Structure 1
Amino acid sequence: MKKPWHDQYDKFVPRSLLYSNLNIPQVLDRSVQNYPEQICLCYMDRSITYQQVAEASDNLAKWLSFLGCEQDDRIGLIFPNSPQFVIAFFAILKMGGIVVAMNPMYKAPEFTCIIDECDVKCILCMEDLVPLIQSLSLEHPIQRVITSSSQDFSTISPDDTITQKMILDKDVVSIDPVMQFNDCLGTDIANIELDYTYSADRPAVFQYSGGTTGTPKAAIGLHRNIVANTMQFLTWCDLQPLEETFLAAIPLYHVYGMVLALVLGIRLAARIVLIPNTRDIENLLESISDGKVTFFPGVPNIYATIIRYPAVQEGKYDLSSIKACISGSAPLHPHIKESFEKLTGGKLVEGYGLSEAPTATHCNPLYGKNKIGSFGLPLPDVDCKIVDVEDDTKLVKDGSSGELLIKGPQIMNGYFNNNYETQLALKNGWLHTGDIVRMDEEGYFYFVDRKKDLIKVGGFQVWPNEIEAVLNAIEGVKTAVVAGEAEDTGDEKVIAWLVLEEGEKVEVEQVLEHCRKNLAAYKIPREIIFVPEIPRTGVGKVLRRELIRQYKEKRS
């Protein structure tokens, strides 16, 4: 396939890059060695230096080893955007573990699925989740829980010390199955040595994804994948060491935030302003204004909320420090892009990525041509081809639509314990994205449709099959079908169609209450529609598109 996209790169972006062999903890080490007193994290009006993050993560890593965690163990990480997440993330990797980050909004069935499949034995979480985690541990192999309060870092300052040295003996010390996060940070176990000089080809992160089939599974992101993607983006976005302040508003428990808001920021020795709750729009705006944020990866809905917020329109907040923003997870409406750039004076460019390529493979140029409806150009060293949907050995004609296949240094190693899905996704060495796209004559790519029926809500992946299983468990429900409908913000709305058993009566509130108990809030259908039957093909396949068509027709 031709590579016309190279001619559209900004002048400072090379076609190919030299990639580091560093693993992720070594990326942190390099910034600590060069800039130990530089502010690393800003949270709740407090600041934590790079040296403090390094010491705290060292101490926690030693505790994880002391508690019996071993190399390649999958360790659960259930924190919002906070110093706890960052410190625990690096601690897990420093002791050789694999990060299994989970959304704190998950319910018991969602946690159970991931904990079971990944064989998670140790979990770090906020204290309000401890009762739920302990209830799971009665049936599942959770051996240790390290818990933290939202106030644990509310009083820390760069002058504070959080370390005392101790020698601990496993055979003598009695350890509670539930430990306090700050107790671990405050103790340096002197008789445990850390060695994280391991290869960058080892797994770093398991990120759950629906892949091309829609069935949730753990995509294995290697250290090399993540470090390579940070190199691509610091070049693409013209970011400079020590000069940037990042806004970490998108969730760090997803690879989008993990790579572009955290690891990329660490690589640049940037200040990282942590936003635990994006619904607190005033805190977000104050953080940008007061913190002089320069780089802000996000999703269309966040940018839409900012430009529509009355206080922003009244000029209450100074957002002029913003230089570059990356928008992902959903199409970026041209009006949002134009209004945001006019408001801030910075650049807002749309990109494309997936959990199987942590985290992105395409992006519009920062200063070059941005085309309406395009998610941009392949990043340096990313190769693409567009193949026939029915026969992936056939390339489509120029300008035609087909499935996007990708190669690049950020492509995952496979799915954990799932050779069948791995072979499907990485057939012949190409990542099969399951997304239908087209490419124009200049190498800009356009999203056409999804080969699967994945729904994206606020940057989160929502799988219809999962919600349908919950709905079908409701007494009186015969069949449930779920689909997404695009909204003006670029988000999608989850809609459920229910066919009831003959003679049964089910109320909407009954359905919603059941969903609240079994699904994270963003997965709960926004609309419940009762129908006499579900449209299907001649072989019995559900016609979701027909349901959406009927829905739109009735609304108009």
Structure 2
Amino acid sequence: MSVKPWHALYPDEIPTTLDYELKPVHAYLTEASKLYPDKVAVHFMGKEFTYKEMHESSLKMAKYLQDIGIEKDDRVAIMLPNTPASVIAYYGILYAGAIVVQTNPLYTEREIEYQMKDSGAKAIITLDILFPRVSKVFNDTDLEHMIITGIKDFLPFPKKLIYPFIQKKQHGITVKVEHRGHNHLLTEILKIATPDPVEQVLDLEEDLALLQYTGGTTGSPKGVMLTHKNLVANASMCDAWLYKNKKGEGVTLGILPFFHVYGMTTVMITSVMQGDKMVLLPKFDVETALKTIHKQRPTMFPGAPTIYIGILNHPDLHKYDLTSVESCLSGSAPLPIEVQEKFEKLTGGKLVEGYGLTETSPVTHGNFVWDQKRIKGSVGVPWPDTDCKIVSMDTAEAAPQGEIGEIVVKGPQVMKGYWNQPEETAAVLKDGWFHTGDLGYMDEQGFFYVVDRKKDTIIAGGFNIYPREIEEVMYEHPAVQEVVTVGVPDAYRGETVKVFIVLKQGHTASEEELDQFARQHLASYKVPRLYEFRDELPKTAVGKILRRKLVEEEKEKQTNQKLG
């Protein structure tokens, strides 16, 4: 695409192309430790750590990893929630010249075993309460070492003393691990290791910083290979997009998990690049989040729609002051317009939707945060140095403006490929363009809209129905807190539309009422035929509703009915 109409929309403060510094991801922590040595880098449940302390701890981690045999390009897994340990582990692995393998702490033994085998990870850094789970699969993988930490390791007094009792009440177990053999305690590492790892020479365009696993479009999870250049480029784009942020003065709320690439890039890497303070929460709890915002006064709040929805619907919301929030980037799922408007009114800040994928480090598009050129319902425009086009599903050629097709993107943040899967890589990377598998279109100004995943499109009676359109309508109903739309098998129409609804606390709505509401706003063939009310919907750790899990439940239900 030679003409990029969205460039005309850019405010003067955002360049359309950037000069990327040729440095590895961890170089920004080194710089921050020199520029802001005594500034708080991490706040965690009442305890604070300076940039100097985080830098030194990361170097100690790197040296220890090298001492136990971790070499350049070895894979080291991190299976942690957002804690100071997750930051130390991440940068420590990179300083050692190794590759981070982010692993969800909620994974089952089967999922851990698969990811460790597929990545060939030689070490894993995990929580004490997850030690039994990892231990069960340890000998069936290439793992040689396990580094264990606990939430209490970084708590202030007296929380440090109280936490083991809370942990036992919550999880029913108390785990004690000794620092010997292939088991290593992070607290001991930080006492005995020296902060002088052997510096590794890196090829920033080729050497991997991260293996980030994604379900992709088919089959088992795939390891997305992201280089140092990929991650630095995307964080640099984020930095340029947030041009009003003042270096060394921001406070970023770290609710998004760092084991998800969205939280890792927009919170952990970008905060270090900007010299911001990160306020970390190990899990999303609405009341804890509200108290933290009220007390810690974050200016930047990346999140997902379900996080903002949870906050807006908390019964004691009026007790908390959220006006410190200046900017929020929402990703991982479509942002309902109603949620955007209410949250901006509540905080006085800006909440904008963006778009991206694991394979793109992850952000490719965003709405302008402070500029008035924002179109509601749009994911915005491509970020600097990012090209995008819509490819016709019929001809595989560039689609006319306004026509729905597959979104394909190109830019320095696009992955190197899938780990050990050349065929899967070739299927999505063509001439430098990444084929996202998402459907969307571009309007006459250059704003992009995501209609849905190609595989989530519902075909009912020959009509293409896009779940997002239905969800946008249902979110306008005053009683609806969360909604997700799926297609379920139908003998007559092929598929039919079903919605799963979570109602707001204190609100009621019948199926008949919602049906009448939908008919006022949707063409008849798009109106849901089936409604199911639930107390909660299945979600990923980042808050994305698991549509596919609900589809699988429906298929299983229909299979059981046939067998019955």
Q: TM-score, normalised by structure 1?
A: 0.79
CA distance in 1 between counterparts of 2:137 and 2:457 reads 28
Name the SS for the 1:371 alignment partner: coil
Residues 1:493 and 1:215: Cα distance change in structure 2 (over 3 Å): farther
Residues 1:56 and 1:385: Cα distance change in structure 2 (over 3 Å): same
Q: Over the residues paired in the alignment, what is the CA RMSD in angstroms?
A: 2.7
Equivalent in the alignment of 2:30: 29
Equivalent in the alignment of 1:68: 69
1:50-89 → structure 2 map (5 Å cutoff): 50-89=51-90
> Does residue 1:437 correspond to 2:440, yes or no?
yes
Structure 1 residue 84: Cα displacement: 0.7
Q: Is the 8 A contact 1:73 1:120 kept in 2?
A: yes
Q: Is the 8 A contact 1:39 1:48 kept in 2?
A: yes
CA distance in 2 between counterparts of 1:358 and 1:534 reads 43
Equivalent in the alignment of 1:458: none
Equivalent in the alignment of 1:304: 309
Name the SS for the 1:362 alignment partner: strand
Q: Is the 8 A contact 2:95 2:197 kept in 1?
A: no
Give 2:270's aligned amino acid: L
**Cα-to-partner distance string for 1:253-285 (whole Å, 9 max, x where unaligned):** 01100000100000011000001110x212111
> Does residue 1:204 correspond to 2:201, yes or no?
no
Residues 1:92 and 1:495: Cα distance change in structure 2 (over 3 Å): farther
Name the SS for the 2:455 alignment partner: coil
Q: Is the 8 A contact 2:39 2:50 kept in 1?
A: yes
Equivalent in the alignment of 1:262: 268
Equivalent in the alignment of 1:133: 134
Structure 1 residue 452: Cα displacement: 2.9
Equivalent in the alignment of 1:121: 122
CA distance in 2 between counterparts of 1:414 and 1:491 reads 34
> Does residue 1:317 correspond to 2:323, yes or no?
no
Give 1:447's aligned amino acid: V
More displaced 10-residue stretch of structure 1: 204-213 or 32-41: 204-213
CA distance in 1 between counterparts of 2:387 and 2:25 reads 25
Residues 1:533 and 1:281: Cα distance change in structure 2 (over 3 Å): closer
Equivalent in the alignment of 1:480: none
Among 271, 275, 278, which residue is 2:281 paired with? 275
Equivalent in the alignment of 1:375: 379
Structure 1 residue 311: Cα displacement: 1.5
Q: Is the 8 A contact 1:437 1:445 kept in 2?
A: yes
Give 1:274's aligned amino acid: L
**Cα-to-partner distance string for 1:455-476 (whole Å, 9 max, x where unaligned):** 9xxxxxxxxxxxxxxxxxxxxx
1:85-100 → structure 2 map (5 Å cutoff): 85-100=86-101
CA distance in 2 between counterparts of 1:194 and 1:292 reads 39
> Does residue 1:252 correspond to 2:258, yes or no?
yes
CA distance in 2 between counterparts of 1:336 and 1:283 reads 20
Structure 2 alignment gaps of length 5 or more: 159-178, 459-466, 476-480, 490-539
Structure 1 residue 338: Cα displacement: 0.3
Among 337, 340, 343, which residue is 2:340 paired with? 337
Aligned residues: 467
Name the SS for the 1:374 alignment partner: coil
Residues 1:534 and 1:388: Cα distance change in structure 2 (over 3 Å): farther
Q: Is the 8 A contact 2:456 2:486 kept in 1?
A: no
Q: TM-score, normalised by structure 2?
A: 0.78
Give 2:392's aligned amino acid: D
> Does residue 1:420 correspond to 2:426, yes or no?
no
Among 229, 234, 241, which residue is 1:236 paired with? 241
Equivalent in the alignment of 2:170: none
Structure 1 alignment gaps of length 5 or more: 158-173, 456-482, 498-518, 536-556
Give 1:258's aligned amino acid: M
Structure 1 residue 356: Cα displacement: 0.5
Give 2:190's aligned amino acid: L
**Cα-to-partner distance string for 1:136-186 (whole Å, 9 max, x where unaligned):** 0222222110001110011389xxxxxxxxxxxxxxxx9521111111111
CA distance in 2 between counterparts of 1:449 and 1:335 reads 19
Structure 1 residue 532: Cα displacement: 5.2
Q: Is the 8 A contact 2:60 2:197 kept in 1?
A: no
CA distance in 1 between counterparts of 2:37 and 2:305 reads 35
Structure 1 residue 187: Cα displacement: 1.8
Structure 1 residue 188: Cα displacement: 2.6
CA distance in 2 between counterparts of 1:413 and 1:95 reads 21
Give 1:11's aligned amino acid: D
Which structure carries more relative contact order (alpha carbon 8 Å, separation 6+)?
1
CA distance in 2 between counterparts of 1:199 and 1:275 reads 34
Give 1:241's aligned amino acid: K
Structure 1 residue 323: Cα displacement: 0.8
